[in-house]
C-alpha cells in the first residue's frame, strides 16, 4: 500500500512516498497535498533528512526502491557512488555508465531521478563546473552543494 508524507526542508517542501516499507519517491512538492498516511520507513527517512540538513548525516540507510528502465536505474545507481561533498560532470557520469556517447540520455535519466537529494543528482554539474539542470530548481541545487561544502557562498561587497 502506498504511503505519503511531507517534510518541510530548507529547500522547500518534499513529498515522500513509500510502498512495501521502501521509499519510492522524494520530490519537490509543487502540487496540492495528498492525504498524509505515513509509515515507519517514511518516519526514518524524515529523521535522516533532518540529520542531513542539520549537518549530522552524509549517508542514508533507509530502504528504497528505484523504479524506472534498466538504463535509468543504472544511472541512478551510479549517482549513489558520488560521495558527499563531491561533484562529477554529465560526461563523467556517462563514462561511469559505460558509454560516453550516452551523455544526453544520462542527462535525461538524471533529471528523472525519483528520489531527490538521497539519490544525489544535484552532484552532477556541467563539464566546466557550471550548475545546469535540476528538477528542484537551480537555487536549490546551489543550496545543496553549498550545504555539502562543494560551493562556498559568495560574500557580498555591499
The rounded distance, in Å, linking the Cα atoms of 74 and 71 is: 5
The residue from 15, 45, 96, 121 that is catalytic is 121
Q: Which pLDDT value is given to residue 124?
A: 96
Rounded to the nearest 5°, which phi and psi values hold at 68? 175, -170
CA angle 24, 27, 32 (to 5 degrees): 115
Tell me which residues of the chain have a pLDDT lower than 70. Answer: 152-158
Q: Which pLDDT value is given to residue 34?
A: 80
CA dihedral in degrees (114, 22, 78, 51; nearest 10)?
A: 90
CATH of 70-147, one of 3.40.47.10, 3.40.50.2300, 1.10.3430.10, 1.10.10.10: 1.10.10.10
Q: Which pLDDT value is given to residue 56?
A: 97
121 in active site: yes
Could you write out the DSSP letters of every residue in the chain?
-EEEEEEEETTEEEEEEEETTEEEEEEE--S-----B--HHHHHHHHHHHHHHTTS-SS--S-B---S-HHHHHHHHHHTTSPTT--EEHHHHHHHHT-GGGHHHHHHHHHT-SBTTTS-GGGEE-TTS-----TT-HHHHHHHHHHTTSSPPPPP--
Q: Which pLDDT value is given to residue 119?
A: 98
Closest-CA residue to 59 (of 94, 30, 83):
83
**pTM metric for this prediction:** 0.90
Amino acid at each position: 500500500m502506498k504511503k505519503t508524507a511531507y517534510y518541510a526542508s530548507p529547500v522547500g517542501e518534499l513529498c515522500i512516498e513509500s510502498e512495501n516499507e521502501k521509499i519510492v519517491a522524494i520530490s519537490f512538492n509543487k502540487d496540492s497535498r495528498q492525504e498524509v498516511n505515513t509509515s515507519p520507513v517514511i518516519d526514518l527517512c524524515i529523521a535522516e533528512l533532518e540529520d542531513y540538513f542539520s549537518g549530522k548525516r552524509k549517508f542514508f540507510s533507509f530502504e528504497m526502491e528505484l523504479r524506472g528502465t534498466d538504463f535509468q536505474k543504472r544511472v541512478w545507481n551510479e549517482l549513489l557512488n558520488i560521495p558527499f561533498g563531491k561533484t562529477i560532470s554529465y560526461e563523467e557520469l556517462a563514462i561511469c555508465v559505460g558509454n560516453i556517447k550516452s551523455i544526453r540520455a544520462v542527462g535525461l535519466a538524471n533529471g528523472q531521478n525519483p528520489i531527490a537529494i538521497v539519490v544525489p543528482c544535484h552532484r552532477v554539474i556541467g563539464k566546466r563546473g557550471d550548475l545546469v539542470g535540476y528538477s528542484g530548481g537551480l537555487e536549490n541545487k546551489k543550496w545543496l552543494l553549498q550545504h555539502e561544502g562543494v560551493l562556498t557562498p559568495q560574500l557580498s561587497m555591499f
